[in-house]
Amino acid sequence: MAPNILEADRPIIDPHHHLWDRSRLDLHDMPFAEHGFSEMLRQCPRYLLDELLADTQAGHDIRATVFVECRSMYRAAAQPAFRCVGETEFVNGVAAMAASGAYGPMQACAGIVGHADLRLGAEVGAVLDAHIAAGGGRFRGIRQSAAFDADASVLGPLSIRDMPAGLLASADFRAGFAELAPRCLSFDAWVLEPQLSEVVELARAFPQTTIVLDHVGSPVGIGAYTGQRAARFNGWREQIAALARCENVMVKLGGLGMPFPGFAWSYANRADDYVALAEAWAPYLRTCIEAFGVARCMFESNFPVDHFTCDYTTLWNALKYGVRDGSAAEKDALFFDTANRVYRLGLTR
């Protein structure tokens, strides 16, 4: 049974969710590791507009969302570098459906963050321009996942992706990264906690480019880091402080329902206790808010990935409970204003 909705009238922009249809894949034949990814996809092989609306209309006042790339609906027949533009075309179509008003007032995918291989250097500019054209005025930035660990079991099935060590520091990548700011595009950075110093170096090298750190920097507590999450907390906090000194960096507060942090109790049995989740996540959320300030922090759902830990309603209750003592202005920033400003959505509460 869904919990009661905390602060049901609080406007929310969800700045991080995905859309996919993996229902035709044979998940049993895919090289998934043990950390819950295969089960999550089996439970949620399809997450399109209907599923998103079922979540966003379940009680919280979700006004709009931002889609973040997940390698969905790529163009099959395009040149390799341009296949990713198919995802933007697909998501813009979903956004147009929502904008029609036929599905309610919520503006799904009001902002779109797509993928491009920035290792193409200056040549990636053509791919970025194609995304912008396909986005119908909604395209806002790029995420090229850089998450890597020498222990392949940490990333599980994601380790089969083309995410080499040291991606953010490579000359080719940085040549492509330089193409973002002239187009007013931001960069969503997904790395694991041991890689946070790489994001610091990137932010210092490109102070004019807005970088959004996903999932509080993905603390780790599985694979080679099993049992070490608490011991690694101070190192994570030091890197968060270094990032906060880079004024071009923002941070998304969420993603702690993924397997990486090693909160095994929360994904072994799907949680409905939002207080327990809020208390487990509090050290990470509080540290980021203290370091960055509310004007550079935004809460995220990371759905449907975090679906394996809890449902959408419980997740937003946990985030609201975590800042229950905050002022109205602070909550406005965390739940709406920062995302609205950073992703240039132009919405009003």
What pLDDT is attached to residue 31? 38
Is there a domain that residue 2 lies in?
no
pLDDT tens, 110-131?
A: 999 999 999 999 999 999 999 9
- pLDDT score, position 41: 62
Q: What mean pLDDT value characterizes the chain?
A: 92
Q: Which residues of 122-143 are buried (b: 16+ CB within 10 A; e: fewer)?
A: eebbebbebbbebbbebbbbbb
How confident is the model at residue 141, as a pLDDT?
98
Question: Which of the residues in the chain have pLDDT under 50?
Answer: 1, 27-35, 160
For residue 242, being part of any structural domain is answered with yes
Q: Which domain holds residue 45?
A: 11-342
Q: Which two tokens stand for residue 196?
A: 């946070």
Closest CA to 187 of 201, 198, 199: 199
CB of 299 within 8 A of CB of 254?
Answer: yes
Specify the pLDDT at position 218. Answer: 97
Single pTM value for the model: 0.94
Q: Is residue 6 situated within a structural domain?
A: no
Measuring CA to CA, which residue among 349, 345, 249 is closest to residue 293?
249
| Domain CATH code at residue 187 | 3.20.20.140
- On whether residue 5 sits in a domain, the answer given is no
Give a yes or no: residue 4 inside a domain. no
Tell me if 347 is assigned to some domain. Answer: no
- Token duo for residue 150: 């020498």
Write the CB contacts of 265 (distance below 8 Å, at least 6 apart in sequence). 271
Give the total number of structural domains in the chain. Answer: 1
Q: How far is CA 258 from CA 37, 105, 219, in A?
A: 9, 30, 10
Tell me, what's the pLDDT at 308?
81
- Give domain status of residue 1, yes or no: no
**CB < 8 Å & 24+ apart, contacts of 332-335:** 333/294, 333/295, 333/297, 334/253, 334/289, 334/294, 334/297, 334/298, 334/299, 335/10, 335/11, 335/12, 335/13, 335/298, 335/299
The pLDDT value recorded for residue 68 is 98
Looking at the DSSP bridge assignments, the partners of residue 298 are 252
CA dihedral over 199, 201, 203, 208, signed as positive or negative: negative
pLDDT at position 22, please?
A: 80
In this structure, is residue 348 part of a structural domain? no
